[in-house]
Structure 1
Amino acid sequence: MAATQRQLHLNAFLMEAGHHEAAWRLPESNPRADFDLQHWIELAQLAEDAKFDSLFLADGPALTGSGEYRPPGQLEPLTLLTALSQHTSRIGLIATVSSTYNDPYNLARRLASVDHVSGGRAGWNIVTSAGADEAANFGLLERPDHALRYERADEFLTVAKALWDSWETEAVLGDKDSGRYADPMRLHPIDHDGGHFRVAGPLNVERPPQGHPLLVQAGSSEDGKKFAARHAEAIFTAHQTYERAADFYRDVKSRALAAGRDPDSVLILPGIVPFIGSTQREAIELAQRFDDLRIPEFGLAQLAWNFETDPSVFELDSPLPDFILARPRLQGSQSRSDLIIELAVREQLTVREILSRLGGGRGHFTFVGTPDQVADTIVSWFEGGAADGFNIMAPALPSGLAAFIEHVLPILRSKGLFRDEYQGKTLREHYGLAAPPNQFHESDAHFASDIS
């Protein structure tokens, strides 16, 4: 029997009016999309109708910028996912939630609840929160050290997994004749006492339908890759070139193997921001239309935030300053800052040109071309060992997502690389991932030692 053809995993990364920083300024855009529930419902249904594996909501516990040039806020993502779960039935629902500014019990409970409410479609993008402004919102004068944030996140995941496992599947009896609702021997305290948390357990929510919500990670620093090798089941990542993406792919897969995991159970999805035109010229004109709407002051503020410095250090028509090119050690997103430096050096860009390149997707791979060119690029990365799928980051929403669905998906389907219909009901089934064994179940007792 012939082996089943490997297929792409596609995630619709949704961001209010679109990923381009000026998307809200387009005549056809809804500038209040960020708080318009109907906008989000329509996007979710559009992605589900196209049979995307999942949709994804980014988040951070602080205002994004000053609010002067781009919408700075967003609805709390687990609340929004819960609403979207009632207007969809199959698509996976993934949201970013910080491990740094939450506690394991409350967050494990909320994520388990979303998985129940959605029928097993929840995913958690685990971040450690890089911004000093985020720390200030939680009473901290300084953000926690980069390595310490990942150390805490590692213990956080150990606790969350134990809490999700604290109800065995057979715990609920519901025996009306005997009057026994549950078997208390199958409800387990976790009695965790670690360096960052003391948690008794058990959770007060039944084990999620997926066992654990799908665990996603988005950091590409050394600490981030170590964490991903231990915990992540999908990785959202940013790369500007195939070569960098392929290097990252090999590195993370080998780390997963060294951690005793099946590398095929760790899916890597780079981001792509596609500007799609029926001809190359039309695609270029579309991208230029967006670029003409950018406000340089916004881009400079974002660039300064990335490098933890002041916007005044940059000159628009000069290269990056020498002290930036020296790659100072940052407490924020080190991997994203390194990506920007590599882009600037490789293409010998001025600051003005850097801002243009970052305007579409904040450092994610921006591609301008025809549907065939977009599809060919996706296929070459996928078949060449640089990706298991992609985050589709439409520059404007809903138009950019609709264009990808209408013009690129049929090409991918004609190559047998993307589904026509959903085969499973849960997010794990879409991603081809098994439910994790329960560490407290007798038949899975060996598993407890793997996460202790």
Structure 2
Amino acid sequence: MTHERTPRQIKFGAILTGTGGPGDQLRWLDPEIPGDASVDIDWYIEYARLAEEAKFDLVFIVDSQFITPHSPPHYLNRLEPLTLLSALAVSTSRIGLVGTATTSYNSPYNLARRFASLDLISRGRAGWNVVTSGDAGTAGNYSRDEHFDYPTRYRRAAEHIEVSQGLWDSYEDDAFPRDRETKVFLDPAKLHELNHDGEFFQVVGPLNIQRSPQGQPVIFQAGDSNDGRDLGGRYADGIFTFTPSIADGQAFAADIRSRAAAVGRNPDHVLILPGARIVVGDTDDDAREIERAQHELSNSFEITLAELGRPFGWHDFSGYDLDAPFPDVLHLAEHSFRTQAEAIVAAARKDDLTLRQVVERRAALHPSPFVGSAKTVADTIQEWFEAGAFDGLNVFVSHPAQFRRFVAEVIPILQERGLHRSEYEGTTLREHLGLPFPANRYTVSATRVEQTANAASLSTAH
């Protein structure tokens, strides 16, 4: 079955980062945020339900596998994504549940089983944000001396996804007759071994869990490097990204979809969902003042200097001369967030910046386009959406009062304009996103064989 994406509507995700992620290290000072929000299941349930009341498509849980004392508060102390999402699955009924999991430090069988379990527990609402892990220090937590290099990480990720998708097809959709009269629980012809033998993984299968109402979990991806874009174009149903302008969003969407088309995929089945910081005020000026105050609350030069080390393998910049030219440290990013590090170094070289100037630029307020009165925010979202800059937004749930204003004041305007649903049309995440149901590969193959045989029989008869 196929779920059409017309009329086109804006998709919304809610990014739940509790006490504050990168660039928002002091968010926890907001008295509305519990100091233990990132490990408080009641906090997550509250905001997942609020997003569900606003008919959001999904909630999104970020993750990483390595910390330092300079990591953001949410990173220092947070719940494991699939455990958390399983709790949300039984505390909500419709909203999609997307969690981050690394292909570098998980086996496909184990991870495929966990996501398949979440998909069944939620009755078809699970999604996997595929990452390769940018924190090089992660290797030390998984008995490795060194993190995988970029090409290896992405080859491994591609194979990991293919193995996982193969395992999710272990059972055809009608594999379990569960017929008490004949005492037939399983039709063994509908159970399939994978027998994968690849560069990184050897997996026999089958997976010991049936498919969910949406067939397979939805695949998301967030890498912006060339390798990351290739991975997203080939496998992802949704792309999490950062879009600073309409033109950048249009170019990114065109690039991803051209890569999808080049490997034979329908480019309309790849959704672009950038992250967005949204601030709603009584007036546009009021909203900008709120944005400025929130920024000043959550940032400082010292915090930004420490956080600058993350793309460079958590390199410590505190011992450098702040007023000397930005140091030659790009090599430190080879096994870390290389694309982000390259952008930092390129900007520093282009404008001949000192370390202090680089930190000051990063610590400065970079105004979001989605700030203003409720009408202004709705107008801007509509403009970007209709220009093809994105298919939807992942909204950072930062300060609670702001998220409540967004769902109470902006969402109704978009609903009135027919740009966002007023009710869920389906029950699964795929249905929310307008994505096709993935037919089981073995069922498809058997059908093709039968059709070929029937065609040959008719040809012979004539």
SS of aligned partner of 2:101: strand
Instruction: Please state if 1:384 is matched with 2:349.
Output: no
Conserved in 2, the CA contact under 8 Å of 1:291 and 1:356?
Answer: no
CA RMSD of aligned residues (A): 2.7
Per the alignment, do residues 342 and 85 of structure 1 end up closer, same or farther by CA in structure 2, a change over 3 Å counting? farther
* Cα contact 1:164–1:208 (8 A) shared by 2: no
What is the alpha-carbon distance in structure 2 between the residues aligned to residue 4 and residue 252 of structure 1? 21
Contact 1:95 1:125 in 2 (8 A): yes
Q: 1:356 aligns with which of 354, 363, 371?
A: 363
Aligned residues of 1:234 and 1:269 also touching (Cα < 8 A): yes
Match of 2:178 among 174, 186, 193: 174
Q: Which amino acid aligns with 2:304?
A: G
- Shift of residue 337 of structure 1? 3.3
Aligned residue identity for 1:384: A
Does structure 1 conserve the Cα–Cα contact (< 8 Å) formed by 2:63 and 2:81? Answer: yes
Matched residue of 2:277: which SS? strand
Label 1:179 to 1:71 Cα distance change in 2 as closer, same or farther (>3 A).
Answer: closer
Aligned with residue 312 of structure 1, among 318, 335, 359 = 318
Determine the C-alpha separation between the residues in 1 that align with 2:324 and 2:6.
49
- Aligned-pair distance for 1:442? 4.7
Paired with 2:116 and 2:34, the residues of 1 have a C-alpha distance of 33
Q: Could you say which residue in structure 1 is the equivalent of 2:407?
A: 405
Q: Is the 8 A contact 1:291 1:359 kept in 2?
A: no
| Corresponding residue SS for 1:13 | strand
Q: Which range is displaced more, 196-205 or 240-249?
A: 240-249
Separation in 2, partners of 1:315, 1:355? 18
Structure 1 counterpart of 2:339 = 335
Cα deviation, residue 267, structure 1: 0.3
Deviates more, 1:11-20 or 1:330-339: 330-339
Shift of 1:425: 0.3
Across the two proteins, how many residue pairs are aligned to each other? 438
What do the CA deviations read for 1:226-248 (whole angstroms, capped 9, x no partner)? Answer: 11111000000013222222211
When normalised by structure 2's length, the TM-score is: 0.88
Instruction: Give the whole-Å Cα distance in 1 for the aligned partners of 2:383 and 2:346.
Output: 22
In the aligned structure 2, how far is the partner of 1:269 from the partner of 1:101? Answer: 26
Matched-pair contact (CA < 8 Å) for 2:284–2:376:
no
Residue 62 of structure 1, CA deviation: 2.1
Aligned to 1:416: 418
Residue 350 of structure 1 aligns to a residue whose secondary structure is helix
CA distance in 1, matches of 2:174, 2:75: 47
Tell me the residue number matched to 2:397.
Answer: 394
Residue type at the aligned position of 1:372 = K
Instruction: Tell me, in whole angstroms, the C-alpha distance in 1 between the residues paired with 2:35 and 2:403.
Output: 17
Task: Give secondary structure in 2 for the equivalent of 1:154.
Answer: helix
Question: Aligned-pair distance for 1:113?
Answer: 0.4
1:393 shift after superposition: 1.1
Q: 1:268 aligns with which of 264, 269, 272?
A: 272
Contact 1:265 1:433 in 2 (8 A): yes
SS at match of 2:100: strand
Contact 1:275/1:395 (<8 A) preserved? no
How far does the alpha carbon of each residue in 1:254-300 deviate from its partner, in whole angstroms, 9 at most, with x for none? Answer: 11111101111000111111122212332232223223332432221
Q: Is 1:42–2:46 an aligned residue pair?
A: yes
Distance 1:379 1:327 in 2: 41
Quick check: 7-16 or 373-382, which moved more? 373-382
Structure 1: 5+ residue runs without aligned partners? Answer: 448-452
Map of 2:148 onto structure 1: 144
Inter-CA distance 80–202: structure 2 relative to 1 (3 Å threshold) = same
Q: Deviation digits for residues 416-444 of structure 1, max 9, x if unmatched?
A: 11001100100000000012121111556
Contact 1:126 1:215 in 2 (8 A): yes
Q: Once the 2 structures are TM-superposed, how far is the Cα of residue 342 of structure 1 from its aligned partner?
A: 7.1
Q: Which residue of 2 aligns with 1:296?
A: 301
Q: Which moved more, 1:182-191 or 1:348-357?
A: 348-357
- Displacement of 1:412 in angstroms is 1.6
Change (3 A) 1:202 1:141: same
CA apart distance, 1:323:
3.6
Comparing 96-105 and 240-249, the one that deviates more: 240-249
Give the alignment of 1:42-61 within 5 angstroms: 42-61=46-65
Which residue does 1:375 correspond to in 2? 378
Q: 1:7 to 1:26 in 2, by over 3 A?
A: same
Deviation for aligned residue 1:41: 0.5
Cα distance between partner residues in 2 of 1:49 and 1:63 = 34
Equivalents in 2 of 1:89, 1:81: separation in Å?
12
Task: Verify the 8 A CA contact 1:55 1:94 in the aligned structure 2.
Answer: yes
Aligned to 2:460: none
Is contact 2:64-2:75 (8 Å) kept? no
Closer/same/farther in 2, CA of residues 410 and 313 from structure 1, 3 Å limit: farther
SS of 1:45's equivalent in the other structure is helix
Alignment of 1:83-98 (within 5 A): 83-98=87-102
Change (3 A) 1:208 1:68: closer
2:225 equivalent in structure 1: 221
Q: Which amino acid aligns with 2:54?
A: A
Helix, strand or coil for the counterpart of 1:100? coil
Alignment CA distance shift 1:366-1:127 (3 Å):
farther
Q: Show the 5 A alignment for 1:142-221.
A: 142-221=146-225
SS at match of 2:273: strand
